[in-house]
Amino acid sequence: MSVTIAGAGAFGTALAVSLAAEGGVVRLWARDAAQVREMTHSRQNVRALPGIALPDTIGPVETLNPDPGQTVLVSVPTQKLRGFLGQHGAALSGRVLVLCCKGVELDTGLRPSQVAAELVPDAAVAVLTGPSFASDIARGLPTALTLACADAGLGRKLQAELSTQSLRLYRVTDVTGAELGGALKNVIAIACGIVIGAELGDSARAALMTRGYAEMVRLATALGADPGTLAGLSGFGDLALTCTSLQSRNFSFGHALGRGEAFDPGKTVEGKATARAVTALAEARAIDMPITRMVSAVLEEKLTIDAAVAALLARPLKEED
């Protein structure tokens, strides 16, 4: 098995290590030539995943030139996906692309698969998402993810190609639901991080996770998703992971915000842009998403954390939905 992974961040590198450990040959593309040289010489990705050795069958490259018929895993941040696809569209034309990014494009409200359909219309697109930390995957710890592909036959092929002894892929055809689950849970994770950082308690976190999940399902079903998808790995599973661990960048960002501390600006926090994009989507469709709206308002400094909490607690009493 031979694949190209575009994006040498933590997740792309972890997937490369997992696949190479099973005997796969992996080209790991990075846009930074200096990073390619570092990985080639040190056999580690010190910038993104320090302490993890890169197997010999991983070849760091700075030119994206996949072999004919080779599957390409695209692991770049959602907000940079359009630029990446625009720059490399010729190399990706007609290929199978597995998108490994989570979020909603800020300027357009589009999901990653919709951006890919616009810029590389002749590519076959699948999505890999679900509860995982890159370090767990790279260390060979048991992990289960969702592989979403509208073409069931292609989905089965990719499932067999990309699963390993420690990385188990479950297949769905609901790409919309899988993408929205992975995107929306990041917003709720920021909210939960704020709650724990501000020492508002685990009971408050549990409430936010539960009501946040209701928001996720509400928007996803309005956009055509199967609610059952949100109950799986790409929705509930990812929500549970990212709302309970400081390994999650979204949770740890919210945690720093709740404590009034600075957060490393070099770390990508997909939920920040997603909160703003989803708030606009929900308002345009008159969908009630109060937690998402409050997170967006706090991030835009329109509300303080105390004011956001007060606004949520002051909402009218209602039946649980």
Q: What is the DSSP letter of 317?
A: P
**CATH topology for 176-313?**
N-(1-d-carboxylethyl)-l-norvaline Dehydrogenase; domain 2 (1.10.1040)
Report the share of the chain in percent with pLDDT over 70. Answer: 100
Does residue 80 carry a catalytic annotation? no
Choose which CATH entry (2.130.10.10, 3.40.50.720, 3.50.50.60, 3.90.245.10) describes domain 2-173: 3.40.50.720
How deeply is 94 buried, as exposed, middle or buried, from its count of CB atoms within 10 A (0-12, 13-18, 19+)? exposed
- Summarised one tens digit per residue, pLDDT across range 70-116 is 999 999 999 999 999 999 999 999 999 999 999 999 999 999 999 99
SS (H, E, C) 70-129: CEEEECCCHHHHHHHHHHHHHHHCCCEEEECCCCCCCCCCCCHHHHHHHHCCCCEEEEEE
Q: Are domains 2-173 and 176-313 of this chain identical in fold?
A: no
Q: Quote the pLDDT of residue 194.
A: 98
Compute the distance between CA of residue 153 and CA of residue 126 in angstroms, rounded to an integer. 12
Active-site annotation holder among 80, 102, 185, 267: 185
Q: What is the pLDDT of residues 13-67, one digit of tens each?
A: 999 999 999 899 999 999 999 999 999 999 999 999 999 999 999 999 999 999 9
**Confidence (pLDDT) at 1:** 78
Segment 212-251, tens digit of pLDDT: 999 999 999 999 999 999 999 999 999 999 999 999 999 9
Identify the band that residue 321 occupies on the pLDDT scale cut at 50, 70 and 90: confident
Q: What is the pLDDT of residues 157-212, one digit of tens each?
A: 999 999 999 999 999 999 999 999 999 999 999 999 999 999 999 999 999 999 99
Residue boundaries of the structural domains of the chain: 2-173, 176-313
- The answer to whether the beta carbons of residues 204 and 116 sit under 8 Å apart is no
pLDDT at residue 28, as a whole number: 98
pLDDT of residue 62: 96
Tell me how far CA of residue 154 lies from CA of 121, 126, 169, 176, 233, in angstroms: 17, 9, 14, 17, 20
